[in-house]
Amino acid sequence: MSTQTSEQVRPVPTAEWVTIPDLVEDPYPVFARLRAQAPVHWVPAVDRYLVVGYHAAHEVELDADRFTADEAGSLMKRAMGHSMLRKDDPEHAVERQSYGGVLRPRAIKAHWDALFQRNAQAHLQRLRAAGPGADLVAEFAAPYAAENLRQICGFHNATAEDLQRWSQTLIDGTGNYADDPDVWAAAQRSSTEVDTAIDEMLVRLRHEPDHTLLSGLADLPIPLEAVRANLKMTIGGGLNEPRDAIATTLWALLSHPDQLDRVVADRRWADAFEESIRWVAPIGMYPRQATGDTVLDGMAIPGGARLGVHVGAANRDPALFDEPERFDVDRPKVPHLAFGGGSHFCAGAWVARASVVGVALPLLVGELPDLRLDPASPAQVRGWVFRGVTHLPVLWS
């Protein structure tokens, strides 16, 4: 337990006024109101303690002894199986190490950078064919991220469209706090399809190995159920994070043309990317569970409490970030939490940075003259567990 005295410890307030529809539409006003009162709230609508303060979120991430990732009743376990994200070390470390170097910078430079370039050029042509005046998410960001992921994972028996469907339905299951039966049914169908595809590819890749993730897993002594669950987890975050980072970053830059000019002039794509995922974290919330009675940033947390650690809210905490609601590529560098932290730091962070910062953003702005938002069709942004630009109509000359 924290060393704070009983006089310093406060009970966690209840926020009965919070609704899921409000969170889906725009969670940030909700988070600001919550954060002004306390860093943690009990929110009946989502049946968990919602962590919205930066210090509290960071503390949870770094202390697996007090806050386990292996949450009881996990929606992710139901949708995807028991992946490494819902495990603590040492079990988590063993499964994470099984991914080897496939997603690390050396492998990206050796095997995947050229792939990203080819795929980006192909999907740029797709976008051009649909425009000028096209949805950048549907015609570029989503299929580009899906094709990259398909080839990195080694799903030679599936299409990019399969990856998009699998990713969205599995993610919808992971965030199904409304307990919609149709969402569960769609997630189950995709889960079964992924299992079948994995089983087929493991047999093939044992005889015809390559540089893909599935090939590296084919001969390791990892239980099949763990392989399946971890690949489903990878399909979820590995597609939506780069897809949403591309769309959100361009939406932000095109909405702030003065910042876009500075980014282009000085090739500050990395600054734009990092500020974008701070401003709108694609993977907004993850669960944890208190292993016993404890104190979190001055708040009394009962043993067994199920937490929702919202990094999207933490990344807009005014205690850390000046004018946090504003997108600003010149913002002083403060570590954001969009990729998580500690042992669960996102394994795909290097892939996201390489494919988005190194390839997609400079290519789109450089190859589409006078790229701009379509004033007749505003961008659409939705979600709270996972949040991103769902439609981004753009024009170019």
Q: Residue 186 falls within a domain, yes or no?
A: yes
Q: Residue 3 falls within a domain, yes or no?
A: no
Q: Residue 375 falls within a domain, yes or no?
A: yes
Q: Residue 213 falls within a domain, yes or no?
A: yes
Q: Residue 320 falls within a domain, yes or no?
A: yes
Structural domain boundaries, residue 47: 20-395
Domain count for the chain: 1
Q: Residue 323 falls within a domain, yes or no?
A: yes
Task: Label residue 305 left, alpha or beta by phi (over 0 means left) and psi (-120 to 50 means alpha).
Answer: beta
Q: What is the pLDDT of residue 131?
A: 80
Sheet holding 134-135, edge to edge: 134-135, 393-395, 372-373
Q: For residue 67, what is the domain's CATH number?
A: 1.10.630.10
Question: The pTM is what?
Answer: 0.94
Q: Residue 10 falls within a domain, yes or no?
A: no
Q: Residue 12 falls within a domain, yes or no?
A: no
From first to last of its 397 residues, the chain has per-residue pLDDT tens of 444 555 589 999 999 999 999 999 999 999 999 999 999 999 999 999 999 999 999 999 999 999 999 999 899 999 999 999 899 999 888 888 888 788 889 989 999 999 999 999 999 999 999 988 899 999 999 999 999 999 999 999 999 999 999 999 999 999 898 899 999 999 999 999 999 999 999 999 999 999 999 999 988 888 999 999 999 999 988 999 999 999 999 999 999 999 999 999 999 999 999 999 999 999 999 999 999 999 999 999 999 999 999 999 999 999 999 999 999 999 998 999 999 877 888 888 899 999 999 999 999 999 999 999 999 999 999 999 999 999 999 999 9
